[in-house]
């Protein structure tokens, strides 16, 4: 037997979380540091919990000895009401994906945003970030926009199939980052928007195994435009492959996936993981078809 001070018991709360690679990434890294660490999916549907009951599930997890959880779709916003404390960025974003359970208190963090920030710094060091165009303003897109603005992007243009969503995101981010220009645009105008952009960030499901295809026409890409995709199943999306072939600097979605896991691991254990090793492990898991 071990106490909560001697070992880590971590969960992933959300819907459809069984195929997640995050538990394996955490556990393998913990093994390398010789710490006792178990990471279990806590699937809402399997456990017959409604998303709105995420607070009850969190309290149950605390009673069962969990020391932390990651939280994913559709609970990242809903969980905010159950928190006792949250980091400044988490409060500003209004969404948490990591909750530490400390002395019965729930402390929220958002490593989606910090994971994308570190992904950008690691995978695309030194790129110009004055003008960035982003397609997709959903869950991943919100964290990515926040990370881009926190990284110093001065002009961020956002489009989404759901025009109202893009407008709402642009308005709330403008309020959070008053020195930056954050605007929503019609996705039909993406050619003009990309024309004078430094980078393009893609955050819609287009390109996933289940939604194959290109989110923008290849003719709109050019070698001096960097391209970041959040999709990582497959890792080599049509966008990533096309952009790389054209000579663009490219960031695949695996960098963000590993970044969020590495940052959560640090928060949970206080140990800095070996991010390159985690990335190699991630690539192995993807190559195995996990």
Ligand X SMILES: O=C1C[C@@](O)(C(=O)O)C[C@@H](O)[C@@H]1O
Nearer to ligand NAI, 102 or 244 (CB): 244
Q: Residues 4, 65: contact at Cβ < 8 Å?
A: yes
For the bound state, the minimum distance from the C-beta of residue 190 to ligand NAI, rounded and expressed in Å, comes to 9
Q: Residues 258, 278: contact at Cβ < 8 Å?
A: yes
User: How deeply is 127 buried, as exposed, middle or buried, from its count of CB atoms within 10 A (0-12, 13-18, 19+)?
Assistant: middle
- Residue 134 contact partner, candidates ligand X, ligand NAI, none, CB within 5 to 8 A by sort of partner: none
Tokens of 9: 């018991």
Among the listed ranges 120-128, 136-144, 175-183, 281-289, the one in contact with ligand NAI (CB under 6 A) is 136-144
Q: Does 90 bind ligand X (CB under 6 A)?
A: no
User: How deeply is 7 buried, as exposed, middle or buried, from its count of CB atoms within 10 A (0-12, 13-18, 19+)?
Assistant: middle
Beta bridge partner(s), residue 199: 132, 226
Question: SS3 sequence, 190-248?
Answer: HHHHHHCCCEEEECCCCCCCCCCCCCCCHHHCCCCCEEEECCCCCCCCHHHHHHHHHCC
Question: Which residues in 218-243 are b (16+ Cβ under 10 Å) and which e?
Answer: eebbeeebbbbbbbbbbbebbbbebb
Nearer to ligand NAI, 59 or 238 (CB): 238
Q: Would residue 105 show up in a list of annotated catalytic residues for this protein?
A: no
Residue from 208, 214, 220, 283 in contact with ligand NAI (CB under 6 A): 208
Residue from 67, 72, 114, 142 in contact with ligand X (CB under 6 A): 72
Nearer to ligand X, 17 or 203 (CB): 17
Among the listed ranges 15-23, 56-64, 84-92, 155-163, the one in contact with ligand X (CB under 6 A) is 15-23
Pairing of strands 98-102, 68-71: antiparallel
CA–chain centroid gap for 67, Å, is: 21
Q: Does 97 bind ligand X (CB under 6 A)?
A: yes
Among the listed ranges 16-24, 45-53, 128-136, 280-288, the one in contact with ligand X (CB under 6 A) is 16-24
Nearer to ligand NAI, 161 or 171 (CB): 161
From residue 101 to residue 130, the character string flagging contacts with ligand X as x (rule: CB under 6 A) and all else as - is: -----------x------------------
Residue from 67, 70, 117, 118 in contact with ligand X (CB under 6 A): 70
Q: Does 204 bind ligand X (CB under 6 A)?
A: no
Helix (H, G, I), strand (E, B) or coil at 286: helix
Q: Residue 36: in which H helix or E strand, if any?
A: none
Cβ-proximal residue to ligand NAI, closest one: 138
Q: Residue 57: in which H helix or E strand, if any?
A: helix 54-63
Nearer to ligand X, 185 or 282 (CB): 282
Cα separation values, 23 from 60, 132, 198, Å: 20, 32, 35
Contacts to ligand X by CB under 6 A: 12, 14, 17, 20-22, 70, 72, 97, 112, 257, 260, 264
Please give the positions annotated as active site: 76
Contacts to ligand NAI by CB under 6 A: 73, 135-141, 160-162, 165, 187, 203-206, 208, 215, 230-232, 253, 256-257, 260
């Amino acid at each position: 037997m071990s106490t909560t001070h001697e070992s880590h018991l971590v969960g992933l709360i959300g819907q459809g979380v069984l195929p997640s690679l995050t538990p394996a990434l955490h556990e393998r890294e913990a093994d390398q540091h010789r710490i006792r660490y178990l990471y279990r999916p806590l699937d809402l549907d399997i456990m017959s919990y409604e998303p709105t009951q995420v607070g009850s599930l969190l309290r149950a997890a605390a009673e069962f000895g969990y020391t932390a959880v990651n939280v994913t779709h559709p609970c990242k916003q809903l969980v905010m009401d159950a928190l006792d404390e949250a980091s400044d960025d988490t409060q500003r974003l209004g969404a948490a994906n990591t909750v530490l359970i400390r002395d019965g208190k729930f402390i929220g963090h958002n490593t989606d945003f910090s994971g994308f920030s570190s992904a950008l710094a690691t995978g695309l060091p030194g790129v110009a970030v004055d003008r960035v165009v982003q397609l997709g303003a959903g869950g991943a897109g919100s964290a990515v926009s926040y990370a881009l603005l926190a990284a110093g992007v001065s002009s961020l243009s956002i489009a989404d199939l759901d025009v109202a969503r893009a407008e709402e995101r642009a308005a709330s981010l403008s309020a959070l980052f008053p020195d930056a220009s954050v605007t929503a645009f019609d996705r039909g105008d993406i050619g003009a928007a990309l024309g004078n952009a430094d980078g393009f960030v893609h955050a819609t499901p287009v390109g996933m195994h289940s939604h194959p295809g290109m989110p923008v026409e290849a003719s709109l890409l050019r070698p001096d435009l960097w391209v970041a995709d959040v999709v990582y199943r497959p890792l080599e999306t049509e966008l990533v492959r096309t952009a790389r072939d054209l000579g663009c600097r490219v960031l695949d979605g695996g960098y963000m996936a590993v970044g969020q896991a590495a940052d959560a691991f640090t928060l949970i254990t206080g140990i800095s993981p070996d991010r390159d090793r985690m990335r190699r492990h991630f690539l192995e898991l993807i190559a195995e078809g996990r």
